[in-house]
Amino acid sequence: MNKFWIITKEVFKKNIKSFGFLAMVLIPLVIVGFLAGLGYYFSQEAANAEAVPVAILTEDESLQTIFTENDWNIDVNEEITTEEEAETALIDEDIEGYIVAESDGSSVEASIVHTNGLSQVIPQISEALTTHQAMLRAAELGLSSEEVMSLYAPVALDEQVVSISEGSLLEEDQMDRMIQVWSAYAVSIAIMAFIVTYSGIIAEEVANEKGTRIMEIILSSASATQHFFGKLVGVSMVMLTQIAIYIAAGTGAYFYFRNTDFVQGLIGGFDLVAMLQELLGYTLVFFIGGVLMYVILAAFFGSLATKMEDVNKAVTPIVFIALAGFYIGLFAFNSPENAVSVFFSYFPLFTPFVMPFRIASGTVATSGIWLSIIGTAAFTVLIAVVSLAFYRSNVLVYSDTNILGTIKRSWNIMQSNKKAKAMQSKN
């Protein structure tokens, strides 16, 4: 057991001190920080934007009041009173545009001439003028303002999102549903990112000594099992370290910036406690199970490589399988009850990608979720056992054949070893 921990520690120390690990950790943080800074910059620009200078040409004081009292971030130039003056000011770039509005007591007509500076407020202006016209016509009909507003009152529509569980209807919280959806997206993207990153790392670790032809020396002091799982656990610890860094960085950033208007605007409608509970529930289980399963597969394919140049070729099938699972998961979100979605949600290689989306859509029962978790765990144990068996047989096999040829040769060696042990037991 001591040799196992020595191998694990050496793998962990070597990777954690490498420049590649530092870049791998910092690049996502830099990207997230840059995007957050960009969002903050644009939000501040919008908040501190100068009022757009415009001219309002109308003889109706009530229309003039609409533009001066509404908060549309416009600055009305009251010195301009004619359309000719407005055109001259627009050409001289003293204003961004002008609005001509007329009313005959029952209807309103308006035209806007601008240099694209009023595009953001045109829908608001149109709505305000429409409301004003409705009030004019209501006055003609002898309706009070309260009666007019009652005509615009929205229908009281009570929406209840329910799920069917064991023959009964269960009401679901919309916020909880939104958290589940974003958690499903997050776990799919995270699994894909970690698979692409750590599949290559574990494959290189397993194939490294084999490529340098010093495996004979290593196996003289440690067993193939200790070497295989030592590499696997060491890389897993590196992965957990990266996750811990992200958690610490995210927690620190939240507590430092949580009282800013920008952060409150982003998370104001979300229940962070509920979100964390969701992430620490099924989502985290599928994330850990998915990444661990593909890392073990990468270790298996890495053991088939006889030199470092073949590592990328060896892990390519794993990346394509994960990519297929990712897109099937996106399809499952749009069609969660489709036969393809249901089937692949229980197919272990694709379960971590597909099942979170089915959970978010509320189309799978708790028994189905646990069945998929048990199936994924059983499959992970199975591929660990199979990978170890093949690793023991091909760890000292140096061949220039392709991966399929190496698998076939490893299988023949496994069968020969079994026959040899059987003969020894008989004797």
- Three-class SS of 51-71: CEEEEEECCCHHHHHHHHHCC
Q: Alpha-carbon distance 358 to 365, whole Å? A: 10
pLDDT digits (tens, 9 = 90+) for 277-297: 655 677 778 888 888 888 888
- pLDDT given at position 120: 75
- Residues 338 and 356: their CA atoms lie apart, in Å, by 15
**β-strand 161-165 against 74-76: which pairing, if any?**
unpaired
pLDDT tens for residues 165-192?
A: 556 655 555 556 666 677 777 778 888 8
Q: What is the mean pLDDT of residues 148-161?
A: 67
Residue 180 makes CB contacts below 8 A (sequence gap 6+) with: 278, 356, 359, 360
The confidence score (pLDDT) of residue 175 equals 58
Burial 295-312 (b: 16+ CB within 10 A, else e): bbbbbbbbbbbbeeebbe
For residue 266, report the phi and psi dihedrals to the nearest 5 degrees.
-75, -45
For residues 314 and 388, the answer to whether their CB atoms sit within 8 Å is: no
Pick the CATH number of 52-150 from 3.40.190, 3.30.1370, 3.30.70, 3.40.50: 3.40.190
Q: Does the pLDDT of residue 101 top 80, yes or no?
A: yes
CB-based contacts of 53, cutoff 8 Å, min separation 6 = 74, 75, 77, 94, 95, 96
CA distance 153 to 318: 57
> What percentage of residues in the chain have a pLDDT greater than 70?
71
User: What's the pLDDT band for 152 if we cut at 50, 70, 90?
Assistant: low
Q: Write down the pLDDT at residue 73.
A: 74
Interatomic CA distance for residues 419 and 421, integer angstroms: 5
340 has pLDDT over 80: yes
Q: Which pLDDT score is estimated for 213?
A: 61
**What is the C-alpha to C-alpha distance for residues 178 and 174, in angstroms, rounded to an integer?**
6
Task: Report, as an integer, the average pLDDT of 309-321.
Answer: 79
Q: What are phi and psi of 221, to 5 degrees?
A: -120, -15
pLDDT > 90 fraction of the chain, expressed in percent and rounded? 1
Regarding predicted confidence, which is higher, 375 or 393? 375
How many angstroms separate the CA atoms of 97 and 101, rounded?
13
pLDDT of residue 232 exceeding 70: yes
Higher pLDDT among residues 93 and 157, named by residue: 93
Q: What is the pLDDT of residues 345-364, one digit of tens each?
A: 889 889 888 888 887 777 78
Q: Is residue 143 over pLDDT 70?
A: yes
By the 10 Å C-beta count (0-12 exposed, 13-18 middle, 19+ buried), 227 is classed as: buried
Could you give the C-alpha distances from 368 to 145, 194, 326, 363, 404, in angstroms and in order? 57, 26, 20, 10, 35
Check residue 86 and give its pLDDT: 84
Model confidence at 23: pLDDT above 80: yes
Reference 29, options 37, 17, 18, 40; nearest CA is 37
The SS3 call for residue 262 is: helix
Collapsing DSSP states into helix, strand and coil, what is residue 113?
strand
Average pLDDT of the chain, as a whole number: 77
Residue extents of the structural domains in the chain: 52-150, 173-421
- Predicted pLDDT of residue 47: 59
Between the alpha carbon of residue 264 and those of residues 80, 267, 268, 269, the distances in Å are 41, 5, 5, 9
Would the pTM of this model clear 0.85, i.e. be above it? no
pLDDT at position 182 is: 72
